[in-house]
Structure 1
Amino acid sequence: MMSIILFDGECNLCNQSVVFVIKKDTENHFRFASRQSKIGNQLLDQYKIDKNIDSIIVIDNDTVYLESDAILHICKYIKRWRILFIFSIFPKLIRDVFYKGFAKNRYKWFGKKEQCMIPTPEIKKRFLE
């Protein structure tokens, strides 16, 4: 079964995170779409996700994971990063305070693109169109 990661295609950090996950996801568990893409918007509508949410989004078996839950869900499938799933013992409310603070400042700290990234041919097959 595959999971879909919806990411902010204009965010430098988000784009680099997608590249990182692609390199580390040796089992090809994840597929990707920017939230700004046609398929990204369709998935947001289909799962009734607020288009203004400031979060990475993971959809797995019709379950939607947001904010820190999304990050931990990704870590669960990445070798050597699975250990970070231990942070799920902390209440979501506490984890999300840190997540939201980071998300709020990501453009300031990492910059913003004028357009979504264009995947290289070797990783393009991992993106939904």
Structure 2
Amino acid sequence: MGRQKRRAAGQAEPIILLIDGRCYLCHGITKFVIAHDKRQRFQFASLQSATGQHLLRQGGLNAHDLDTFVMVEDGNYYTKSSAALRVMRDLDGFWPLIYGLRWIPAFIRNAVYSFIAKRRYRWFGYSTQCLLPSVEIRQRFIDWAEVHDNEDQTEADLRGNRNSGADG
């Protein structure tokens, strides 16, 4: 079933964005996407996370290249300017109009992208560890949901161990 048909049927798969978890610019982009994604199509993972590393390897991408932005949609991987333009296409409001810039040759778009990516820490700053997003943003991160589910399971296991210890 094609992307448009799945969307019409309400079966759209989430679009996953892999971002540099230490980059303040990337953190700002994440907030921007969430603010303009009323349908909540986008989910996020840090490039540095286990999930991010797994998805990079699964897509045949360099797991050590943190100077890229990756979009995973319907099993297809898009990077750099192609990923950024595709994100704009799926946002609410007038942002999809920016997708028209895809007609600029990729080597030009990616040269501009790489110029900014190489300087993003100097221009926007970075954290020495992955940033802790707000609760609203955290709920859209794949890793947070996995960790949250694991915490609930661990807590249930501990209660079960405490109960079985009390009975024995």
Calculate the TM-score normalised by the size of structure 2.
0.74
Greater helix content: 2
Q: Is the aligned partner of 1:2 residue 2:14? A: yes
Which of 122, 126, 130 is 1:112 aligned to?
126
If asked which structure has higher relative contact order (CA below 8 Å, sep 6+), I would say 1
> Could you say what the CA RMSD is over the residues aligned between the two structures, in angstroms?
1.0
- 2:87 matches 1:74: yes
1:27 pairs with 2:6: no
Please report how far the alpha carbon of residue 116 of structure 1 lies from its aligned counterpart in structure 2 after TM superposition: 1.0
The amino acid across from 1:103 in the alignment is: A
1:62 equivalenced with 2:75 (yes/no) = yes
Residue 84 (str. 1) matches residue 98 (str. 2): yes
Counterpart Cα distance in 2 of 1:122 and 1:7: 17
Partners of 1:121 and 1:90 in 2: CA distance: 37
User: What does 1:27-46 correspond to in 2, within 5 Å?
Assistant: 27-46=39-58
- Partner of 1:94 in structure 2? 108
Mapped to 1, the partners of 2:115 and 2:137 lie a distance apart of 30
Decide which moves more: 105-114 or 116-125.
Answer: 116-125
Equivalent residues, number: 129
One-letter code aligned to 1:19: K
Q: Please give the alpha-carbon distance, in whole angstroms, between the structure 1 residues aligned to 2:139 and 2:22.
A: 20
Query: 1:124 is matched with which residue?
Result: 138
Percent of matched pairs sharing the same residue: 35
Q: Which has the larger radius of gyration?
A: 2
Determine the structure 1 residue equivalent to 2:29.
17
Q: Which runs of 5+ in 2 are unaligned?
A: 1-12, 144-168
State the alpha-carbon separation in 1 of the partners of residues 122 and 78 from structure 2: 25
